[in-house]
């Protein structure tokens, strides 16, 4: 039994699931569920819809190139049954799966590396720019310790020149 | 059909905004085009092949379009793989089948989805038919476009062998 991939979201279409649409030039579009079929009928591009595999691949969210993907391949010739081969394959499947999952986690960790520092920077900026929502400006004039230290920026005659132009 | 809808829309617009049209014609026409395209983008609900359904003929029998006049099976109408009786509405000038003749045909493509033996569904772009005689032998010698493999269960193996693509 062949497990096909959904045209829209690239998930596996198991036997008895979904719908397939045959265009007049004999191209077959398989869909895993009505959600994907409806999106196709709305002429949406799977590369632009965020929840599809195609979007995640294009935007670098998921691991795309890896040797663990080489094992799953579509063959147009039926493989001749070999008992030893089948046994070895069944043994190898969980092992390969484990390696793939760990590599995907590694990829995700690499992708999320600078997130903590980014959050810190954003929080600091938020504090600096909108502290006036929490405390009135008059409070800061009374107590200097509440504000962040002021940065001295040298501004020369540029301002006056601009005013002249206006 | 699109052209008729568009013309109807524009006529309606003219009657409603007749006075305003002179002042800013460009703006009005653009808004109308938008509403028309939105209306057309929703696909129509596909139904059975029933009396007066016009189908494309996808073989070289000489007929171009036939109109269904009787479905031989089913209460509501014919579906993918069923046989119908049809009348030839358009035909090539020197083909085997002439305009106005009553013919039998097998529905090889249907826009309405049909369940497959494993529970999934299949649907096609259009409604198409291959003309056969009363015994079920095809009249033409070629079949164009994809046909479903369900025809094998319906004992139309001849059509399957003539077809280029089997879906």
**pLDDT per position as a tens digit, B65-88:** 999 999 998 899 999 999 999 999
- As for how many domains chain A has, the answer is 2
A109 and A82 part of one domain:
yes
Alpha-carbon span A86 to A83, nearest angstrom: 5
> Does B91 reside within a domain?
yes
> Does B45 reside within a domain?
no
Dihedrals φ, ψ of B144, to 5°?
Answer: -105, 145
Q: Quick check: pTM over 0.90?
A: no
> Does B37 reside within a domain?
no
Residue B25 pLDDT greater than 70, yes or no: no
The pLDDT assigned to A66 comes to: 87
> Does A28 reside within a domain?
yes
Residue A31 pLDDT greater than 80, yes or no: yes
Determine the structural domain holding residue B58 and report its residue range: 53-162
- Whether residue B97 contacts residue B63, with contact meaning beta carbons closer than 8 Å, is answered with yes
Alpha-carbon span B127 to B56, nearest angstrom: 6
The whole-number average pLDDT for the span B117-122 is: 94
Q: Percent of chain A beyond pLDDT 90?
A: 60
Q: Strand runs (DSSP E) across chain A, as ranges?
A: 4-5, 12-13, 19-22, 28-31
Strand A12-13 and strand A19-22: the pairing is unpaired
Q: Which of A15, A26, A43 to mutate to test the interface with B (most CBs of B within 10 A)?
A: A26
The whole-number average pLDDT for the span A93-122 is: 93
The pLDDT assigned to B78 comes to: 95
The whole-number average pLDDT for the span A132-158 is: 74
- Whether residue B86 contacts residue B69, with contact meaning beta carbons closer than 8 Å, is answered with yes
> Does B6 reside within a domain?
no
> Does A84 reside within a domain?
yes
> Does A165 reside within a domain?
no
Alpha-carbon span B97 to B90, nearest angstrom: 10
Q: Search chain A and give the residue with CA nearest B119.
A: A16
Determine the structural domain holding residue A102 and report its residue range: 77-129
Q: Percent of chain A beyond pLDDT 70?
A: 92
> Does A45 reside within a domain?
yes
- As for how many domains chain B has, the answer is 1
Return all residues near B146 (Cβ < 8 A) that are at least 6 apart.
A22, A24, A26, B109, B124, B163, B164, B165, B166, B167
A56 and A4 part of one domain:
yes
> Does B26 reside within a domain?
no
The pLDDT assigned to A8 comes to: 96
Q: Check residues B10 and A35 and name the one with the higher pLDDT.
A: A35
Among A16, A20, A24, select the one facing B126 at the smallest CB separation: A24
A89 and A116 part of one domain:
yes
> Does B43 reside within a domain?
no
Given CA atoms A94, A97, A98, A99 in this order, what sign does their dihedral have? positive
Residue A67 pLDDT greater than 80, yes or no: yes
ipTM: 0.72
> Does A142 reside within a domain?
no
Return all residues near B160 (Cβ < 8 A) that are at least 6 apart.
B147, B149, B151, B152, B166
A57 interface with B at CB cutoff 8 Å: no
Given CA atoms A77, A80, A86, A88 in this order, what sign does their dihedral have? negative
Indicate the pLDDT class of residue B113, thresholds 50, 70 and 90: very high
**pLDDT per position as a tens digit, B136-151:** 999 999 999 999 999 9
> Does B14 reside within a domain?
no
**pLDDT per position as a tens digit, B32-56:** 444 444 444 567 889 999 999 999 9
The pLDDT assigned to B3 comes to: 46
> Does A81 reside within a domain?
yes
A20 interface with B at CB cutoff 8 Å: yes
The CB density around residue A104, as the number of other CB atoms within 10 Å, is 14
> Does B105 reside within a domain?
yes
> Does A23 reside within a domain?
yes
CATH code of the domain covering residue A15: 2.30.170.20
Residue B114 pLDDT greater than 90, yes or no: yes
- Strand, helix or coil for residue B93: coil
Return all residues near B49 (Cβ < 8 A) that are at least 6 apart.
B55, B68, B71, B77, B78, B79, B82, B84, B107, B110, B112, B127
Residue B23 pLDDT greater than 70, yes or no: no
> Does A112 reside within a domain?
yes
**B41:A42 CB<8 A:** yes
The pLDDT assigned to A160 comes to: 53
The whole-number average pLDDT for the span A149-165 is: 67
CA distance A124 to chain B (A): 47
CATH code of the domain covering residue B104: 2.40.150.20
């Amino acid at each position: 039994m062949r497990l096909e991939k959904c045209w829209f979201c690239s998930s596996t279409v198991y036997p008895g699931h979904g719908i397939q649409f045959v265009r007049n030039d004999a191209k077959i579009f398989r869909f895993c569920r009505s959600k994907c079929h409806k999106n196709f009928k709305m002429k949406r591009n799977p590369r632009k819809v965020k929840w599809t595999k195609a979007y995640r691949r294009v935007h670098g969210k998921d691991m795309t190139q890896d040797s663990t993907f080489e094992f799953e391949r579509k063959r147009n010739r039926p493989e001749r049954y070999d008992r030893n081969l089948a046994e070895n394959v069944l043994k190898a499947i969980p092992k390969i799966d484990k390696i793939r999952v760990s590599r995907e986690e590694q990829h995700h960790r690499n992708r999320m590396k600078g997130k903590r520092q980014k959050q810190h920077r954003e929080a600091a900026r938020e504090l600096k720019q909108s502290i006036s929502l929490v405390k009135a400006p008059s409070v800061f004039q009374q107590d200097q310790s509440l504000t962040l230290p002021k940065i001295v920026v040298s501004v020369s005659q540029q301002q006056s020149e601009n005013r002249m132009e206006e | 059909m699109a052209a008729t809808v568009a013309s109807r829309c524009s006529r309606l617009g003219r009657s409603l905004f007749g006075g305003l049209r002179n002042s800013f014609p460009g703006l009005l026409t653009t808004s109308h085009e938008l509403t028309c395209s939105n209306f057309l983008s929703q696909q129509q609900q596909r139904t059975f092949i029933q009396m007066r359904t016009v189908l494309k003929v996808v073989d070289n029998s000489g007929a171009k379009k036939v109109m269904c006049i009787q479905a031989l099976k089913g209460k509501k109408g014919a579906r993918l793989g069923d046989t119908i009786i049809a009348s030839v509405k358009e035909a090539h000038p020197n083909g085997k089948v002439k305009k106005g003749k009553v013919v039998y045909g097998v529905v090889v493509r249907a826009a309405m989805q049909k369940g497959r033996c494993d529970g999934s569904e299949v649907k096609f772009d259009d409604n198409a038919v291959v003309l056969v005689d009363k015994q079920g032998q095809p009249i033409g010698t070629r079949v164009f476009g994809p046909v479903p493999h369900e025809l094998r269960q319906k004992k139309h193996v001849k059509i399957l062998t003539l077809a280029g693509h089997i879906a």
